[in-house]
Homo-oligomer: A and B are copies of this chain.
C-alpha cells in the first residue's frame, strides 16, 4: 500500500545524496497524501544509498505509524507541524547543507541578490528566532516547527511565496508541491546561499534586487500567472 507515496519519498531522499546536500544521514524528505491524510517520511538512520520504497514510514497526521517497520526520522514532529500550519504544501525537505547551515549558524537571513534567488524565493529567506530553553527541553521538534510558523506569521509571508527558512543555530527546511519540489527548493537554497556568501565577501556594497525584478522572475515561474 501507499506505493506511489513511498516511491516519491524514497526517490527524493536518495536525491539528497546525489545532489550533495547531506553528510552522513543528516537530512530527510517527506510527502503528504491529502486524500488519504497520511505522510511518508524517511526512517531514522538508514543510509540513502540503501534506502528503498519499502523502508519509508507511513504515519497519520497525529504521527502514529500506519505502515512500516522502522522508526521515522526524529524530525517527524517538525514535518507534522508544518503540514498542519501550511496546508498548501505537500512536501518538506530538511538538510544540514553547508552554506545554508552556515547562514543559520550565523543567525542571518539570505537577501535576494539576483535572479537565481528570485526564480525560487519571492524575497529574503527568513531566519527564525532561537528557541527558548523551555522550547528545547519540551517538545523540541514540534517547537522547531512552531518558530518557523511564527516567523512566517510575523512577516506575513505565504509559505508558497518563500518555500524555505533557516532555523537559527540549526539549518534549513524547504517545502513545495511535492517531495521532489521541496528537494529542488533545497538545492536552490544551498546554491543561493553559496552565491550570497561569496557576494558578501566580495563587496560590502551589494544590494537586494528591487521589487520589479523580483516580480518578473518569481511570478513567471510560480503562482497563478506562471508562464512556464
| A interface residues, Cβ below 8 angstroms from B | 23-24, 26, 44-45, 71, 74, 96, 98-99, 101-108, 113-116, 119, 131, 133, 136-137, 140, 169-171, 184, 187-188, 191, 194-203, 205-207, 209-210, 212-213, 216, 220, 227-228
Which residues on the B side are within 8 Å of A209 (C-beta)? 169
Q: Is A202 within 8 A of B114, CB to CB?
A: no
Task: Pick from A98, A198, A216 the residue with the most CB of B within 10 Å.
Answer: A198
Which residues on the B side are within 8 Å of A106 (C-beta)? 113, 198-199, 202-203, 205-206
Partner of A195, one of B24, B105, B107, B200: B105
Q: Is A171 within 8 A of B212, CB to CB?
A: no
Output the least CB separation between A88 and chain B (Å). Answer: 22
A199 to B166, CA, bound (A): 14
How many copies, total? 4
* Given A114-B171, A137-B216, A197-B198: A205 in contact with B23 (beta carbons within 8 A): no
User: Which chain B residue has the least Cβ–Cβ distance from A194?
Assistant: B98
A137 to B210, CA, bound (A): 12
Q: Is A200 within 8 A of B200, CB to CB?
A: no
Q: Is A115 within 8 A of B170, CB to CB?
A: yes
User: Which chain B residue has the least Cβ–Cβ distance from A71?
Assistant: B228
